[in-house]
Structure 1
Amino acid sequence: MIKDILTNKKLIQKLAKNDFKQKFAGSTLGVIWAFVQPIITILVYWIVFDKALNQGTQGTKAGISAPFVLWLSAGIVPWFYFSEVLSAGTVVLHEYNYLVKKVVFPINVLPVVKAVSSLFVHGFFVLFTLLVYLLYRFPITPYILQALYYSCAMMVLTIGLIYLTSSLCVFFKDMAQLVNILLQVGIWATPIMWNFDAMVDKIPNWLSIVLQLNPMYYITSGYRDSFIGQIGFWEKPGLTLYFWCFTIVIFLLGTHVFKKLQPQFADAL
């Protein structure tokens, strides 16, 4: 599967570019909507949690505090990518059913196309977040480069999940609705709007462990470590090892299920 992805990397790049353009084809503002909606979402959460609920500054394990909007942005930007790719990737085989039915087309690259397509917007928001930090005159350190590592880690996790959910969605169409529900729950189960470090002493130990088993906890906290906390991923060896073990298992499971069901895709669609 990985060999096929590398062999068809030019095809993936071309399809990803077209996929990005087609998302907003026909709308007046076009691709601008890809950037407007997440920005509005951040503004809404900022007004509700910071201005209305008076969250103020948020601290990290390293003892560094940051204004709520900076703390929120660092955690929610990776979630935007994860939720968009998983939601769109689950139905990718239905969306590209005309390619799935072509015998000579390498359909195992389609889940990767969705992951690459959303990188355009994700890259923009990482730079946008960096700009906001500069406007707030928040110190930028070399740890910011870790965002590249966490982006790659999130991408591998997401692709593995898409291989699994997209293949199952061909035969169980309710999978798309189930994924959307899990994403709605996941955004609150992941410490994005609330500070896990501040709450860890107030929740049962078993719940704290369960929340940290969420692989997106590793990603969102990693982005905050890069932008705010100045903590290297190598300083969290246990959590890093767990994340990659989980991700590799999901990737192997997803690709195995995809390859096993692939001969039946054309008939089912």
Structure 2
Amino acid sequence: MALRDFQTRHVGTVGGAIWAIVQPLALVVVFYFVFAIGFRVQSPENTPFILWFVAGQVAWTFFNDSLMSITSSVSANAHLIKKTVFPAEIFAIIRIVSGTISHLIFLAILITMLLFMGIPFQFERLLVFYYYVSMVIFVLGLGWLLSALQPFFRDIGQALGIVLNVWFWATPIVWPENIIPEQYHWVLDYNPAYYLVTGYRQSMIYQSVVWPDLWNTAYFWAVTSILFLLGAVVFNRLKSEFVDVI
């Protein structure tokens, strides 16, 4: 029995690792053929579309998957909350750590592509870790808020899926921002996901690293700080009632 359990866990771990590689690769191939070959979309800055797209998708996939996972984390762990005195806040952090593993695999695929296409390594490219930390704090704050409300409003998960789908297409991930008239670019500046996606691109795929705009950085951190504090406060206020509603 012990051997069988070990084999089951081992196969599950290997299968999960394989899917963490196959899934993003399949996504990249599909979008590449649809937008680069089918619609002939051109990326800005004279950068190959495949690099431009993958860099944006690396950031978005982590953002999307982590937020969805955190939002359902309280309800998904109802057995722990009901039976033990458990710090429910940690569920979000566990989901972030779990998502980071897949994120690093996807990031390794991008780095391999960069090396293959001759993009030079620069020490400044480590700026990408700043954007990773920025995304973690943003997702944690928003995730705590949504996961605290989800046990009381069960449709939040379904609604979030719709919002994220719209958010994806409203963010320049498969389409370049230069197709939008200049007078409407301010809309993108107020999109926190645009700051993160652009940051991944500016720090990784261009010949020279582009440092973040000061105004956009100030706005992003103002929004993120408010969300983080609001999420932490709301979660702390409501967690004592989780047992009664899940």
TM superposition score normalised by structure 2:
0.90
Point out where structure 1 has 5 or more consecutive residues left out of the alignment: 1-20
In the TM superposition, what is the alpha-carbon distance from 1:101 to its structure 2 partner?
Answer: 1.6
CA pair 93-25 structure 1, distance change in 2 beyond 3 A: farther
| CA RMSD after TM alignment | 2.0
CA contact (8 A) 1:211 1:217 kept: yes
Corresponding residue number in structure 2 for 1:9 = none
Q: Cα deviation per residue 1:224-260 (whole Å; 9 max; x = unaligned)? A: 1101342112xx1100011111001001111111111
Which one-letter code corresponds to 1:129 in the other structure?
L
For the pair 1:34 / 2:15, whether they are aligned, the reply is no
Q: Cα deviation per residue 1:87-137 (whole Å; 9 max; x = unaligned)? A: 111110111111112342111111111111100011111121011011112
- Identity of paired residues, percent? 34
- Which has the larger displacement, 24-33 or 122-131? 24-33
Corresponding residue number in structure 2 for 1:13 = none
Equivalent residue in structure 2 for 1:91, among 59, 62, 72: 72
Which one-letter code corresponds to 2:132 in the other structure?
S
Q: Cα deviation per residue 1:189-219 (whole Å; 9 max; x = unaligned)? A: 11101111x224x26x2x4222221101000
TM superposition score normalised by structure 1:
0.83
For the pair 1:265 / 2:242, whether they are aligned, the reply is yes
CA contact (8 A) 2:41 2:175 kept: no
Structure 2 distance, partners of 1:28, 1:214, is 37
Q: Cα deviation per residue 1:159-217 (whole Å; 9 max; x = unaligned)? A: 11110110110100100001100111111111101111x224x26x2x42222211010
Corresponding residue number in structure 2 for 1:199 = 179
Equivalent residue in structure 1 for 2:94, among 113, 119, 130: 113
Q: Which residues of 2 match residues 204-223 of structure 1 at below 5 A?
A: 205=183, 207-223=184-200
In the TM superposition, what is the alpha-carbon distance from 1:86 to its structure 2 partner?
Answer: 0.8
Corresponding residue number in structure 2 for 1:231 = 210
For the pair 1:243 / 2:220, whether they are aligned, the reply is yes
Structure 2 distance, partners of 1:142, 1:55, is 31
Point out where structure 2 has 5 or more consecutive residues left out of the alignment: 1-7
Structure 1 distance, partners of 2:16, 2:194, is 33
Which one-letter code corresponds to 1:199 in the other structure?
I
Structure 2 distance, partners of 1:221, 1:26, is 35
Deviation >4 Å, runs of 4+:
24-28
Structure 1 distance, partners of 2:121, 2:237, is 47
